Structure 1
Amino acid sequence: MKNSVLTSLALASVLTLAGCKESKQERLIVGKTRKEVVSFSPKLTGRILKIYVEEGQSVKVGDTLAMLDVPEVSAKIAQAKGATSSARAQVQLAKNGASPDQLRQLKAKQNGLQEQFKYAQKSFGRAKNMYRDSLLSPQNYDEYFAKYQGAKAQLDAVNAELHDVQLGTRYEKIEMAQGQQNQAMGALQEANVAYSERYVIATNEMEIETISLNKGELATAGYPLFTGYIPETSYFRFTIPESKIAKYQKGMSVKMVVNYSNKEFAGKIVSIKQLAKYADITTAFPDYEPEEAIYEIKVVPVNPNLTKDILVNSNVTLK
């Protein structure tokens, strides 16, 4: 009799457990709120002099976020200015040509060499007559001839030099000087642009979440100094097991509820992709079999204004 009672109780327990298992409710699909992330970094390495914003603040395009101290750029600007002034003077010198004093010096030199040439020419004429009458040795004749040729060559040289100066500077020299000036001006422009980069400027609207450095610290080029979210870019991601993914299609309209505020809003599925890692799931207690593939669906709100104030990483239930 006792054994029969125990058997009946065991059977009743099994049936009760089976009934509970069959009546177990399907777990809700819970996802996470996300926003597009943006970060601003300095283009130059410098020490932070001032930070103009705070965490949690909203900034607009063109707002100044921070100012850096970059003394190396100031030195480059001074060097570039000196090179530009020198190159500009070279261009002006090439365009102006010889000065009046240089012209007077060349003309005086020409007059002196003309007198020397006339004297050498006369001396050579007398030597030629004496040599013809056998009154001058060949050695002396050659000496007079060499002096005549030397004086003539010197006069020809100063005449060519004076003619070149009177014609003006060659076009190639002007172009060369102009090229050096353009190069110097480019270096100055580059230095000025680098100097303007000491300010970190917002290039997008952003809700600042993190400021990674403080005043006085060294900010390296490319290091994310300000990180935050782009307003009105809220979207939602849910992880769905393979056994349930057939219920959802790209372009489908769905309803969602924000867990902490119980606000309901509509959304649209814009993408479905397979997840390769268990750590990428959004549900704390996933309800799927180990052999099942896991998919992520991305949902964007139909009306972004209704979701712009939802906290990032908050839980959202897919209805």
Structure 2
Amino acid sequence: MKRYRNIALSCLALIALQACKDETITTNRGKVKFETIAVSAKVPGRIEKIYVEEGQTVQTGDTLALLNIPEVHAKMMQVEGAIKAAQGQLNMAYNGATKEQLNQIEGKLNAGKAQLKFAQESYKRLENMYQDSLLSLQQFDEVKMKLNMAQAQVDALEAKRAEVKKGVRAEQIEQAKGQLDGALGAKEEVLSAYNEQYLIAPANMSVQTISLVEGELLTPGYTLFNGYKTDSVYFRFTIPESKIYDFKVGDMLTLINPYTNEETPSKIVAINQLAQYANITSTAPLYQLAEAIYELKVVPTSDVSHQEFYINATILIK
């Protein structure tokens, strides 16, 4: 009786094995992975507000945090003043002298001509006295020097009036343009720093860790948010060298979630050798320690947005 029972159990086992032949799960186990992403600051500032929490999912362009950068506001006021001054210089260069400036030059020129006329009359009177030996040579030279100075002043004012009426030189206009361009460039630099007070999500991501709290100082390059791109899921399998020849880049695989039984059509996109044992991801590696270890990077070939994946969760090859 016992013999017949064992035969019956064996037959049932063979039937079950045959029924599951097409649903075989291999011993190759992998892990769910996502492309990681880090968000840091370009300029130093104190964290004024953090708008997200760990585990929260955000979209591209969402504001993650606000920094307080007081130096930016002071520099903005400086560059605004520099732009106004440079624009005024350029306008003056284009428009030339105003009517008031011309009147001022004319007034100085008339005063200079009056001084020149007086110097000329004084020179004529003293010249006769010098010829009659009523005036020393030194006194006569002093009067002659005053006459020359008055003439030089009139000549300079007339040249200035001619320059103003003619217009500003091209070199002065180019100089004014250069000053304005420099001021505008400084403003763009300040605006760039101003925009850096907002830390923005560069992609759709899940925030995993936040390294600082509000009120702390964030230095340039220090990562404040760590997370992973939510639409960048891939799978990582560790394969020993004794089995690596069963796989090739481009091979199509069917992966299965052992907990939900959901299947995911996928493709091998890369095969890399692992140099460190710490990088191995198989949960139950079946290989000799002396074997070289390789990594399969597998990506889904269909839309998996309806499936739920958790980072480092186990995934199997069907």
Q: Which residue of 2 aligns with 1:50?
A: 49
Aligned residues: 292
CA contact (8 A) 2:204 2:231 kept: no
Residue 56 of structure 1 aligns to which amino acid in structure 2? G
Q: Which residue of 1 aligns with 2:3?
A: none
Residue 313 of structure 1 aligns to which amino acid in structure 2? N
Say what the alpha-carbon RMSD is for the aligned residues: 2.9
Q: Map residues 296-307 of structure 1 onto 2, 5 A cutoff.
A: 296-305=295-304
Gaps of at least 5 residues in structure 1 are 1-25
Gaps of at least 5 residues in structure 2 are 1-24
Q: Which residue of 2 aligns with 1:81?
A: 80
- CA separation in 1, counterparts of 2:77 and 2:87? 15
CA contact (8 A) 1:301 1:307 kept: no
Deviations 1:45-94 (A, max 9, x none): 22222222222222212211221211121111122222222223333344
Residue 253 of structure 1 aligns to which amino acid in structure 2? M
Residue 68 of structure 1 aligns to which amino acid in structure 2? L
Q: Which residue of 1 aligns with 2:242?
A: 243
TM-score, normalised via structure 1 length = 0.79
**Is 1:206 equivalent to 2:213 in the alignment?**
no
Change (3 A) 1:216 1:157: closer
CA contact (8 A) 2:26 2:316 kept: no
Q: Which residue of 2 aligns with 1:62?
A: 61
- CA separation in 2, counterparts of 1:250 and 1:76? 55
Residue 228 of structure 1: SS of its match in structure 2? strand
Change (3 A) 1:152 1:308: same
- CA separation in 2, counterparts of 1:264 and 1:314? 15
The offset of 1:222, in angstroms, is: 2.4
- CA separation in 2, counterparts of 1:306 and 1:201? 24
- CA separation in 1, counterparts of 2:51 and 2:142? 89
CA contact (8 A) 2:26 2:317 kept: no
TM-score, normalised via structure 2 length = 0.79
Relative to structure 2, which stretch is displaced further, 102-111 or 187-196?
Answer: 102-111
Deviating beyond 6 angstroms after TM superposition, the runs of 4 or more aligned structure 1 residues are 126-131
CA contact (8 A) 1:232 1:307 kept: no
CA contact (8 A) 2:30 2:283 kept: no
Residue 189 of structure 2: SS of its match in structure 1? helix
- CA separation in 2, counterparts of 1:68 and 1:117? 68
Q: Which residue of 1 aligns with 2:273?
A: 274
Deviations 1:251-282 (A, max 9, x none): 11222222332333332111112111111111
Residue 291 of structure 2: SS of its match in structure 1? coil
Residue 79 of structure 1 aligns to which amino acid in structure 2? Q
- CA separation in 2, counterparts of 1:181 and 1:304? 54
